[in-house]
Homo-oligomer: A and B are copies of this chain.
Amino acid sequence: MNAFEFWNPVRVVFGVGSIARLRENVPAGPRVLMTYGRGSIKTNGVYAQVKKALAGRDVIEYGGIESNPRYETLMEAVRLARRERAGFLLAVGGGSVVDGTKFIAAAIPFSGDPWDILEKQSPVKEAVAFGCVLTLPATASEMNVFAVISRESTHEKLAFGSPKVFPAFSILDPSVTFTLPDRQIANGVVDAWIHVCEQYLTCLTPSTLQDRQAEAILLTLKEVGPKTLKKPKDLEARSAFMWAATQAHNGHLSAGVVGDWATHLISHEITALYGLDHAQALSAVLPGLWRHQIRRKGPKLAQYAARVFGATGTAAERAKAAIAKTIAFFRSLGMKTRMAEHGIPRSDFGMIADRMASRGRKIGEYGDYKRKDFIEILDACD
C-alpha cells in the first residue's frame, strides 16, 4: 500500500423523500443559482420537489446543461451567476450537470481565462459553494472532486479536479431514478464498473483491503445491475445501484493504490470526436485495452475473474476469462463493446493516437504509453 491522504467531506443525504431536506442543507443567506439539464427534471417531478423545498428562498435558474457539458454553455451560466451575484449553486441532474456546476463554481471567482483550469490545469484557489440533487447514478461526481468538460469549438474533452469543488452535500433519492431510460441505467452501471476497474485492475501495489472493497462494489453491480434494468421500480435494487455508483469513485478505492485511467482518457477523445455517451465509449475501449495489457494486468485480471465471476483454471485462463466475462456482462446490459460497432473507422486511429500522445501527460498505471501503444490499443478495440 502506498502512502495516501484521504479526505471526503461531502454530506450524503440518501433516501426516498430526501429532496425535502434541501431546506436545511441549502444555506439560507445567499442567492442560489439552480443549474439543470434539458428539462427531464420538469417531467419527472424533481423540479417541483426542489422548488417546494426552497419555497421562499432567493433562487434563480440556469437550465440547458447538456450531456458532456460544454464549456461554451457553462460560461453562459458563469456570466449569469456573476451578474446576478449568486452565492451558492445547486446542481439538479446527473453527472453532466454536477460536473458542469463544478466548473461554474470554480470559474466564477477565477481571474483569467477559465479554460486554463482545464487546458493548463491552473490551480483552483477558490470556488463558490454548491450542493447536488442527483437524478442519475453513474459518475460519482456527487461525491468527488472531478469534472470533465467538453469544448465544442475544438472537439476537446478535458478533466480537472480540486478539493475546492467537493459538493457541500449531495441528495440521493433512489426513487427519482425510476423513470430513467434503460440506456441511462446501463450506462450508469458500466460507468461505475469501469471507475472501479481503473482503480483496481492495475497490479502495481499490494492492496489487500482495497481489492476486496473494489470487488464488493463489482459484486453488487453484477447482482443489482440486471435486476434494476428488469424491474425499474425495485427500490432496493435501485438504492444499492445508486449508492454503489457513488462509492465507486469517492476516493476510498484509490487510497494507497496507483490508478490506471487510460480507458477514461481514450474514451474522452472518442466522445469528443464522435459524440458517444461516456459509458458507451468506455465499454468500447476497456476490453481492447485489457487485451493489449493482458501480460501486465494478468495477475489482477485472474484475481478479478475468480472473485467477481467465479472463474476457475490457471491464471492465464482466468485472465482471458476476465475479458470474456466482462464483455458478456456489458452486452447483457445492452452495451456495445467494440469501436467498430459504433462505426468508428480504423483509418481514424492514427489521428486519435496523435491526440492522445499530444496531451503530454503520463497515461496508465505505469505512465509509459506512447503513440504506438495507443494505435495497438485502438486496434485491439476495433
Interface residues of A (CB under 8 A from B): 1-18, 206-209, 212-213, 215-217, 219-220, 223-224, 236-237, 239-240, 243-244, 247, 252, 255-256
Query: CB < 8 Å: which of B14, B237, B239, B243 contacts A5?
Result: B14
Query: CB < 8 Å: which of B209, B217, B256 contacts A209?
Result: B217
CB distance from A290 to the nearest CB of B (A): 23
Q: Is the CB of A220 within 8 A of B212?
A: yes
What number of copies of this chain does the assembly contain? 2
Q: A209-B220, A220-B212, A239-B1 are in contact. Are A9 and B9 (CB under 8 A)?
A: yes
Q: Which residues of B are found within 8 Å of A14, using beta-carbon distances?
A: 1, 3-6, 255-256
* Complex Cα–Cα for A237 and B16 (A): 41
CB distance from A162 to the nearest CB of B (A): 16
Query: CB < 8 Å: which of B3, B213, B240, B256 contacts A216?
Result: B213
Look across to chain B and name the residue whose beta carbon is closest to the beta carbon of A9: B9
Q: Is the CB of A244 within 8 A of B7?
A: no
Q: Which residues of B are found within 8 Å of A215, using beta-carbon distances?
A: 212, 216
Q: Is the CB of B3 within 8 A of A11?
A: no
Query: CB < 8 Å: which of B206, B216, B240, B247 contacts A1?
Result: B240
Query: CB < 8 Å: which of B10, B206, B208, B220 contacts A208?
Result: B220
